[in-house]
Chain A
């Protein structure tokens, strides 16, 4: 079977990760794509990306994740990366209250620069450092609820909730597509659909021969 236009996934979702410097954005991405903790991770001077294909409701979804620099002076430049994000992971550090306090400013940027259907997930990272905690779960949860955000406490170090945060974001986006809340034709939806997809692991019922055959008889 010729398959030069087939794809190994049904959708591409674009994600961005934002938040203050040093909250662990790159480590979250690395933990998600490589399943490893990256110790001594250097500051991101720019924007890096990683991809991973995940399965959401029997569909293969390629997550294309943009990890942005958190330094304040880059704010103006990184804003240009928000456009066309289907999902935003807004990260703070549970052991530094200032990073939590800045969330409303990050949220303002996200709301202003992404489209209304963008799914925003708030991640309180470094949950493994319980003794150094400065922001309680309840307080953060309250903030998330007040602002209509999904919320996870994550640890890029232990991997706790990292899969969940990314995959839950993808799941919500997919659900939005299914339920018509996300218009794929809108520019900057952050989602691309691939129609010609290689057959999945299990062959379904035999497809209609009329579509598959060029019968000259």
Chain B
């Protein structure tokens, strides 16, 4: 390759890496293998003050045509941890072993335009490392890689969003993260292109334009400027204009301007804005008009009461490519002694000129570049007794109020003005170049000024125009070369794609996470009327705080009704853990039937599955298991009559079998032994049967109920383990707990029929166990009625239990159940009917 071309490439790399004293020692061309593509990589060994680094550069095209084709992919410090190996012939590996799990980077060589083969590159890197090491031994302190800091790309977020983790800011959502990343990497796709801005200002003293042409003011550059910002003051001094705060654009001026612009380019008016005497017009070259993507105008009056527009400012805000620019035209308070007032006017315009945007108000400050033009009215202080030579510009400038105020930082902070090399612009006898010869003999001053603020603005010209003589002011102009941020589309596309991937990864890596001690909760043995609890721990060992909640499933419940979960929602900060308690609330005569329906299916079905939801993260299923130990409560009278041994000796599956095979399996007894045992026990003490059955079922939570349960389930021959109130409650529970009430399937018929004969006929149609239980009960109730019990109350208690079963709402009683019971119990024939029809033997 031609050495000059090679130098050209080298120069591009130098510029791209912003190298100053650093030396490029060697360049090696290679590529990497990633899952989708094999991107080119240029490896560049760079030395700076005895430390070395290998830059891995990504290239849009090879060789690079533009500086912007080059971006930095990675930087490896050639320190003592660095190693470069030629593992396989013609392939190379960088290993950085500062961390045990750090990755190894593989590069594969390709024929080089830089004429460096792998061996010589390898040799140079090795010798660089040797040089570093030997120098390190001499002076450990001076080995600084700090020169690499400016290349560092912040990649921390990929694993951990540190600020989100420590709570100093909320976790960025995808969109804002995306914008944040794009902005962060702006320098990778922003290039600057220079535009020429012409700014002119002129106080026209209330007169229309009488000049033949404004070309002597506006066409001052050899090549045509890209933008014109032309500011006028005192366009109309009439009282009417002032009173109306006139803002109508004076088109004769616009035509005059268009006529006077540089003749070698076609311009169009972008926008003009006027407030009484102040008018600001922006003209743009037609071929760059499309690069202006936004513009708005604003104005602020600072005249009388800060509302009259004879003084104040007008402004245009625009976006050119990616740079926000503001032009301000102002006319500040007049007179030698009004310095303070002028400073205030400036502050007022800065504050009150705002530009409406969709989501906020932009102020003048919120621009990358600001150009401030106008009759600022600052004068030249006169020092008594000192005679000033009006031709001594340097001498006059020492007393210029604006420069003095700016030095004191009273006004136009951080604005800059070009050096003034022209005569004061005020006050002349109109039509001449003579300073004011009127009675007032106004002292000359540089009233008309052009200031700017922002980076990458270079002043090219700053002058006045003496030969335009119609006003008492001379026009002033300044030409700037302005660096405008421009998006490099190719580079932007690459960064955009890259950022999308980054944000995907960010989102996936920054999902809040909760770990769960166990996902299977086992209650082991579950029994009727027993409350159990199980605890498990959930913890957040992830870097983000996590909000969790148990998700509602069917019927808006997070769990089945016999479970309770506490707490159901919460927040876990990093490092926090929390105990979740699951309570098995216990089965009672109201819910046992439903519970049995679910567990009967078989042992492998979980009792419940909870869904633990982590906000913005995954859902975790918590399975609840447990084995139900059957009890007589909840089973139908028919089934209880088929058992040939105590319930406790059956498994749930065996009972299920027994139920399913009902056709071939005869009843072993006429009525369930459990019912018989209870009635038998109660009848034995029938002499004192007062206060045994209670409407409010106040013994339903009695502590000895479980002893009674076990006594029944084992057909125990021991003495009854409790008292008759508990026995009475157990009887009621046994009657109401099956899925079907005792009088099923004729419940409604019993309620709606008044004839004893008809009722009797239906009683006879009940299944034998149910019929027997019912008739036994009637005989029992008649018996205790005769011992002084209130039959109305007994009818109320039992009516609900045997007709409605557990289906009744707690506390609700259907009066018809009581009526039915009374009708039956009080019938004179009931005793004989019962005796006749109760079945004594199977």
Give the B-binding residues of A (Cβ under 8 A). 1-8, 33-35, 45-53, 60, 62, 69, 73-74, 76-77, 80, 159, 198, 200-203, 206-207, 212-217
B290: chain A residues within 8 A (beta carbon)? 206
- Enumerate chain B residues within 8 angstroms of A7, measured Cβ to Cβ: 175
Beta-carbon contact of A33 and B271 below 8 Å: no
Minimum CB–CB distance from B101 to chain A (whole Å) comes to 15
Please, how many angstroms separate the alpha-carbon atoms of A80 and B552 in the complex? 11
A29 to B30, CA, bound (A): 33
Query: What residues of chain B lie closer than 8 Å to A62, measured between beta carbons?
Result: 174
- Checking A1, A45, A198 against B621 with a beta-carbon cut-off of 8 angstroms, the contacting residue is A45
Once the chains bind, are A214 and B249 in contact (CB under 8 Å)? no
Contact, CB under 8 Å: B497 / A45: no
Contact B295 A8 (CB under 8 A): no
Pair B175/A74 contact, Cβ less than 8 Å: no
Measured in the bound complex, the distance between the Cα atoms of B492 and A192 in whole Å is: 27
Determine whether the beta carbon of A203 is less than 8 Å from that of B487.
yes
Contacts of B623 in A (CB 8 A): 73
Chain A positions within 8 Å of B35 at CB level: 35, 159
Q: Which of B249, B296, B504 contacts A33 (CB 8 A)?
A: B504
Contact digits for B262-277, partner A, Cβ 8 Å, 1 yes 0 no = 0000000001110000
B358: chain A residues at CB < 8 Å are 2
Contacting pair A8 B620 (CB below 8 A): no
**B249 nearest in chain A by CB position:** A217
Chain A residues with Cβ below 8 Å from B508 are: 33-34, 50-52
Is B493 in contact with A201, judged by CB distance below 8 angstroms?
Answer: yes
Sample (24) of A-B pairs whose CB atoms are under 8 Å apart: A1-B293, A2-B357, A2-B358, A6-B175, A8-B178, A45-B620, A46-B611, A50-B508, A51-B174, A51-B504, A51-B508, A53-B500, A62-B174, A73-B604, A74-B609, A74-B621, A201-B493, A203-B489, A213-B294, A213-B296, A215-B295, A215-B296, A216-B298, A217-B297
Interface SS majority for chain A: loop
B39 → chain A, closest Cβ, in Å? 15
Q: Mark B596-615, 1 if CB is under 8 A from A, else 0.
A: 00000000111001011000
Q: Is B503 among interface residues, defined by CB-CB distance under 8 A?
A: yes
Q: Shortest Cβ distance from A4 into chain B, in angstroms?
A: 6
Q: Which of B496, B511, B519, B604 makes the CB contact (< 8 A) with A45?
A: B519
Closest 9 A/B residue pairs (Cβ): A201-B493, A48-B618, A8-B178, A46-B620, A206-B290, A47-B619, A46-B619, A46-B621, A45-B519
Looking at the complex, which one of A8, A33, A50, A201 makes contact with B492 (CB distance below 8 Å)?
A: A201
Chain A residues, CB < 8 A from B606: 73
Q: Which residues of A contact B519 (CB under 8 A)?
A: 45-46
For the complex, give the distance between the alpha carbons of A207 and B294 in Å: 11
Residues of B within 8 A of A53 (CB): 500, 503-504
B interface SS class? mixed
Is B507 among interface residues, defined by CB-CB distance under 8 A?
A: yes
Tell me which residues across on chain B come within 8 A of A33, comparing CB atoms: 504, 508
Residue in contact with A77 in the complex, picked from B357, B496, B503, B611, CB distance below 8 Å: B611
Instruction: Indicate which residue in B179, B272, B319, B496 contacts A201 across the interface (CB closer than 8 Å).
Output: B496
- Chain A residues with CB below 8 A from B493, complex form: 201-202
Shortest Cβ gap from B556 to chain A (Å): 12
Cβ contacts under 8 Å, A50 to chain B: 508
Shortest C-beta distance, A180 to chain B (Å), equals 28
How long is the Cα–Cα vector from A47 to B519 in the complex, in angstroms? Answer: 13
**Structural contact, A206 and B496, CB atoms closer than 8 A:** no
B364 CB to nearest A CB, Å: 16
- Contact string, B310-342, partner A, CB cutoff 8 A, digits 1/0? 000000000100000000000000000000000
B553 at the A/B interface (Cβ < 8 Å)? Answer: yes
Given A8-B503, A159-B35, also A216-B297 (CB < 8 A): yes
